[in-house]
Structure 1
Amino acid sequence: MPDLSHGTADDAAAVNALRSSVMRLSRRLKHQRVDESLSPTEMSVLGTLKLCGSATPGELARKEHVQPPSMTRIVALLEAKGLVRLEPHPDDRRQKVVRQTETAEAMLEESRRKRNAWLATLAEGLDEDEWAKLRAAAPVLEKLAHL
């Protein structure tokens, strides 16, 4: 594995370009939302619940890198909007489990469709060689996103 902290100027430039372009693309993607009333953090929590199925507020706080009291407020807001429900924990009566509602699932799916359509429109501006490179880079970017 390359040590980029002592890499070449080309490596440093590539890391800088990757950071900058990923951040810019992420900001632009965040504007392609179906429900403008939800914060990016609320959308992220719903996405996490989509991936894991259910979680306690404490587990969600760890996964989202927020403090537990903040997650409690986020869950309460999502519950008030009908996007999550709290259920008894199967093993610990003192805890609750947060689950997504069907409304949240439908909203996330519509949001995903909208964002994918927007990205597909952008990709139409790529030539075949650029599109092939992007397809090849997608698994690498996915790996970086989950390290």
Structure 2
Amino acid sequence: MSTLEEALSDTGLAAELRMGVMRLRRRLAIERHPDNELSLGAMTVLGSLFRFGDMGIGDLAGAERVQPPSMTRTVTALENEGYLVRRPHETDRRQVVVSLTDLGRATLLADRERRDAWLARRLQELTPDDRETLCRAALLLQRLAQED
């Protein structure tokens, strides 16, 4: 089997995609805002709250695929640093709802802006055809990442 045939097989393509996505993720992690000392996991929590709005800890844990006690620890740490706040649930006082603070939102947006700027500069180096291919690939990667 040629290298191209191997890369186009399901397992070959899976390996190429996995490696490419992992390398891009690592590079984007390097491009994080220099003042941001939060872990990538903590940033994902801020990102989920930004994207989906206020959430309960159980829902947030489900969205991030972690156990609720782990999410409680992350939320507590982020709350202690001023990145988010908790408030009682409106109808079920046993639950709490987590919200971004202005600091949490600003930290997330500054971090995203820096990484997006780096990636946008790299995209400018590509041909229009390559950019169009990546546009289609981005949509496909989103579909692949969805739950079954």
The structural deviation recorded for 1:128 is: 2.4
Aligned partner of residue 90 in structure 2, secondary structure: coil
Match of residue 18 from structure 1: 17
> Any conservation in 1 of the 2:50–2:100 contact (CA below 8 Å)?
yes
Match of residue 31 from structure 2: 32
Aligned partner of residue 114 in structure 2, secondary structure: helix
The structural deviation recorded for 1:121 is: 1.4
> Partners of 1:54 and 1:31 in 2: how far apart?
29
The structural deviation recorded for 1:129 is: 2.1
How many residues align? The count is 140
Match of residue 64 from structure 2: 64
> Partners of 1:33 and 1:81 in 2: how far apart?
19
> Partners of 1:102 and 1:49 in 2: how far apart?
12
Aligned partner of residue 99 in structure 1, secondary structure: strand
Residues 95-146 of structure 1: per-residue CA shift (max 9 Å, x gap): 1110111111122111121111110111122122212211222211222223
> Any conservation in 1 of the 2:55–2:98 contact (CA below 8 Å)?
yes
Q: How do 1:1-147 and structure 2 match up within 5 A? A: 9=6, 10-11=8-9, 12-34=11-33, 35-147=35-147
Structure 1: 5+ residue runs without aligned partners?
1-7
Moved more, 69-78 or 57-66: 57-66
The structural deviation recorded for 1:16 is: 1.1
TM-score norm. by structure 1 comes to 0.87
Q: CA-atom RMSD, angstroms?
A: 1.5
Residues 1-53 of structure 1: per-residue CA shift (max 9 Å, x gap): xxxxxxx7422222211111001101111222224310111000111111211
Tell me the percent identity.
Answer: 43
Moved more, 81-90 or 32-41: 32-41
Structure 2: 5+ residue runs without aligned partners?
none
